[in-house]
Structure 1
């Protein structure tokens, strides 16, 4: 049975530490952690969440893109567990897009990310996967992999002028799109 976990906030030192690789994916605690991450992301209406965000220093995150009030144009996909991920290639093109974070509530940033990435990761069944992601899903993947390296989206901003509150984002950005 999955549990809803507390999402830690920016300032907690765990968010600034590199996460440990997962050695035994079939371990019951790791499988439980994956279920807890999926449930916690769904409850928080997030499109992704990384284990360090619930104070678990493991290289695991969930990509769970779906349309919402925060991301109305997001594609719909099943929550996917990403374990021990690596970006092995990326496009030259970078695109700025608005990002928020469950660990930094109320703030958005206009973050440059690669338009397309090629990645490897292990799924929750222990299978090695190689995939390419583009656009919004590539953005989620890059945002979450940053969490595994102790990096927040604020660290990726080109300028502090690229920060906006969630309230202003809803009012100014979403109403223009």
Structure 2
């Protein structure tokens, strides 16, 4: 996957053998506990973890992954928003928009406003299910890049949803815990069937979050 190519090249020296890690599933204790912060972003073990998480995310086909999902209790997430997904949401021209692949260490989120928007989410740690989850529509987030530099951005829509979803993992929260109506927790097969049958495209937000 091209979005991670830069990270592959930069971190290859830290890991002679990259690995696809096992993803923790709902019910595993590592997903239910808040993770401690990364003490040293420049630690070679963090660089190795990043490379292995990239391999894992590429293999799983999601758009984001948190360290706790691969059984490592530390505050690190990675994510991206495909340009096609961004264009579908905000009307940008095909190939424009999107959010580049980002590794965020010790992230913090600040909601901007009180507007909440419900959207369908999936999760690699809750396989086979989808849920309708309310999230803040406009946020500011910040954290450290792997080189120690500060990343600070505002985000809306799906971008904001992905960041909130991934950072929830670091606090021991899975998306079903954010749902206000568990009747909207459905099997993947039923979700796709209903989406295909909906005349107005309701529920068409079917991007895997992770």
Q: TM-score, normalised by structure 2?
A: 0.78
Q: What are structure 2's unaligned runs of at least 5 residues?
A: 1-14, 90-96, 202-210
Q: Is the 8 A contact 1:38 1:79 kept in 2?
A: no
Deviation of the 1:88 alpha carbon: 2.5
Select 1:117's aligned residue among 132, 139, 145: 139
Instruction: Check if 1:90 corresponds to 2:112.
Output: yes
Select 1:154's aligned residue among 169, 176, 183: 176
Aligned counterparts of 1:157 and 1:23: Cα–Cα separation in 2: 33
Alignment CA distance shift 1:76-1:4 (3 Å):
farther
Alignment CA distance shift 1:173-1:72 (3 Å):
farther
Aligned counterparts of 1:46 and 1:111: Cα–Cα separation in 2: 18
Q: How many residues align?
A: 176
Alignment CA distance shift 1:133-1:92 (3 Å):
same
Instruction: Answer with 1 or 2: which has the greater Rg.
Output: 2
Aligned counterparts of 1:113 and 1:103: Cα–Cα separation in 2: 19
Instruction: Check if 1:47 corresponds to 2:63.
Output: yes
Runs of 4+ in 1 over 6 A off after TM superposition: none
Q: TM-score, normalised by structure 1?
A: 0.92
- 1:19-58 per-residue CA deviation (whole Å, 9 max, x = no partner) reads 1100111111101111111221111010111000000001
Higher-strand-fraction structure = 1
Alignment RMSD: 2.1
